[in-house]
């Protein structure tokens, strides 16, 4: 086994046994990046020199180990682009809380990973720079918007990574790349320094090779932050303490609304097999209803676009990044936005501005918030009966590059199983649970109650440790 194939826990134990050094791990990862990133294209920026410098003086629980960061989290002195032309040359003067905490824990930064522009998309095809490729099949998308982070983890171009998830952007790419992705509870992890897309939905979380690594990163990045008023002032448990505990008697809800016509047959079979496997481990499946599920995608695209239109107003050629010329202020604004933003971002700004405009606010945003409450209540009702809920993460495996770009509505359906979780503000994890006959990874989503990441980590770990999907690596 090569060192770049390891996760954080694996590397830490070799380092502890003095069988490898953090420097050798870095060497292996950068050699791997040189060998494969020309094909995978996971990184927007590489920071090799900085990574070695950070590793040299590193102390802390993950000293010297490379964790890649999605390029919508500000890194002081390191270009942060959101894969947008408008921020192509933006270098933040401050550090986001999550990277600050990771760096304090000793992590070194190998680089910043590609995403759909401003995290809007499900395939990384909306990146203004290039599309990341799925390491399992280079003709396919890696998922999105955190496709660069998921591909980097799957391809061994880092030991772990951070992503952000507004409607599925950690879990869906993790599922499509055969790795682990955890979206924490809204408020569990500070978003200070995360470039905002839809503020009531955005959440940062880990993309890793194993469930244990997800718990390790959660221990580092979670907890209240005075710089983010939406971060919750509640205690953070040791997320690794639940790993290895059995799941006898754990009640697993199976929502019938998530096993619908039109979903890929091989995905359905793998997920049903995974649920049967959980039952073999002692879990008890219980049918639950989440009746407002059919409204989730429409609801999300009202709320997320509205919030995006408001958040992205700040990119006007004055305060940050790219600025176009114009004969007066208005023309400068219009030219800057017209040339700085890509088509999907413009589509969402227009949709959201319309939904928020006076006279329409009640009919769209106001109504959307009410539907959101109904979706949240569905989960509250279900969680009166069960401890976790199991579903597929994505209705299909990775699709071909270009297959859905002509039809945004088709693309929006990629997140049909992940979006409700953001609307409800609850945590969910995606873990590998099989492959299609064509060799593409399939993911199982395990959803938990507010601030109960421990139970989903416990269930995910029990499943992972009794299967070997997580040991598979793409042949690159």
Give me the residues that bind ligand GLN (CB under 6 A), please. Answer: 119-122, 145, 165-169, 197, 304, 415
Would you say 121 or 187 has its CB closer to ligand GLN? 121
Would you say 84 or 219 has its CB closer to ligand GLN? 84
Written as six digits, the tokens of 313 are 């107003």
**Could you say which of 28, 41, 70, 112 is catalytic?**
70
- CA torsion, points 66, 72, 78, 83, in degrees to nearest 10? 110
Q: Return the SS3 of 365.
A: helix
Would you say 51 or 296 has its CB closer to ligand GLN? 296
Least Å distance, CB 163 to ligand GLN, is 9
**Could you say which of 28, 145, 222, 394 is catalytic?**
145
Would you say 119 or 398 has its CB closer to ligand GLN? 119
Least Å distance, CB 365 to ligand GLN, is 16
Q: Alpha-carbon distance 226 to 261, whole Å?
A: 46
Pairing of strands 160-165, 43-46: unpaired
Distances 167 to 143, 298, 458 between C-alpha atoms, Å: 12, 12, 23
Buried b (16+ CB within 10 A) or exposed e, 252-268: bbbbebbeeeebbebbb
Give 105's contacts (C-beta < 8 A, 6+ positions apart): 60, 61, 62, 63, 220
With contact defined as beta carbons under 8 Å apart, do 121 and 144 qualify? yes
Least Å distance, CB 417 to ligand GLN, is 12
Least Å distance, CB 120 to ligand GLN, is 5
Would you say 43 or 412 has its CB closer to ligand GLN? 412
**Could you say which of 108, 149, 164, 169 is catalytic?**
169
Distances 455 to 122, 212, 452, 459 between C-alpha atoms, Å: 27, 13, 6, 6
Strand partners, 108: 66
Least Å distance, CB 6 to ligand GLN, is 28
Q: Return the SS3 of 281.
A: coil
Would you say 75 or 169 has its CB closer to ligand GLN? 169
Cis, peptide link before residue 145, omega less than 30° from 0? yes
CB-facing half-sphere around the CA of 351: CA atoms within 13 A: 18
The answer to whether 169 is a known catalytic residue is yes
SS (H, E, C) 438-459: CCCEEEEEEECCCCCHHHHHHH
The answer to whether 145 is a known catalytic residue is yes
Q: What angle do CA 67, 86, 325 make, to 5 degrees?
A: 155
Least Å distance, CB 466 to ligand GLN, is 30
Which has the closest alpha carbon to 191: 297, 119, 86? 119
Give 57's contacts (C-beta < 8 A, 6+ positions apart): none
DSSP state of 161: E
Strand partners, 285: 252
Q: Which residue numbers are catalytic? A: 70, 145, 169
């Amino acid at each position: 086994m090569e060192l770049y194939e390891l996760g954080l826990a694996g590397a830490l134990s070799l380092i502890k046994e003095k069988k490898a050094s953090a420097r050798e791990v870095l060497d292996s990862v950068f050699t791997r990046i040189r060998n494969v990133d020309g094909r995978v294209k996971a990184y927007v920026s590489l920071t090799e020199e900085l990574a070695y410098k950070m590793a040299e003086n590193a102390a802390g629980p993950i000293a010297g180990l490379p964790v890649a960061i999605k390029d919508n989290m500000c890194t002081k002195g390191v270009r942060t682009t959101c894969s947008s032309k408008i921020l192509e040359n933006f270098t933040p003067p401050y550090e986001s809380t999550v990277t600050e905490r990771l760096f304090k824990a000793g992590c070194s930064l190998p680089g910043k990973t590609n995403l759909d522009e401003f995290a809007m998309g499900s395939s990384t095809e909306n990146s203004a720079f290039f599309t990341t490729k799925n390491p399992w099949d280079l003709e396919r998308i890696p998922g999105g918007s955190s496709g660069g982070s998921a591909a980097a983890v799957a391809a061994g171009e880092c030991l772990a990574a951070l992503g952000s998830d507004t409607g599925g952007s950690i879990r869906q790419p993790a599922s499509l790349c055969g790795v682990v992705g955890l979206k924490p509870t809204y408020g569990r992890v500070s978003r200070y320094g995360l470039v905002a897309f839809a503020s009531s939905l955005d959440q940062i979380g880990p993309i890793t090779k194993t469930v244990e690594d997800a718990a390790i990163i959660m221990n580092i990045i979670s907890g209240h932050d005075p710089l983010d008023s939406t971060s919750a002032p509640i205690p953070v448990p040791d997320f690794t303490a639940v790993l290895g505990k059995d799941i006898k008697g754990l009640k697993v809800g199976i929502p019938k609304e998530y096993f619908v016509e039109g979903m890929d047959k091989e995905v359905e079979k793998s997920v049903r097999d995974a649920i049967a496997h959980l039952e073999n481990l002692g879990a008890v499946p219980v049918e639950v209803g989440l009746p407002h599920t059919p409204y989730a995608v429409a609801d999300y695209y009202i709320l997320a676009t509205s919030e995006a239109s408001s958040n992205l107003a700040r990119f006007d050629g004055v305060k940050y990044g790219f600025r176009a010329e114009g004969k007066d202020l208005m023309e400068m604004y219009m030219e800057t936005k017209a040339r700085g933003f890509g088509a999907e971002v413009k589509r969402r700004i227009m949709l959201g501005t319309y939904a928020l405009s006076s006279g329409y606010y009640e009919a769209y945003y106001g109504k959307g918030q009410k539907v959101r409450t109904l979706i949240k209540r569905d989960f509250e009702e279900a969680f009166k009966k069960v401890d976790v809920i199991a579903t597929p993460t994505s209705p299909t495996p990775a699709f071909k590059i270009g297959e859905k770009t002509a039809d945004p509505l088709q693309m929006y359906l990629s997140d049909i199983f992940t979006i409700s979780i953001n609307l409800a503000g609850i945590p969910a994890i995606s873990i590998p649970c099989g492959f299609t006959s064509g060799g593409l990874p399939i993911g199982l989503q395990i959803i938990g109650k507010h601030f109960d990441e421990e139970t989903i980590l416990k269930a995910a770990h029990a499943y992972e440790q009794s299967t070997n999907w997580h040991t598979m690596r793409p042949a690159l």
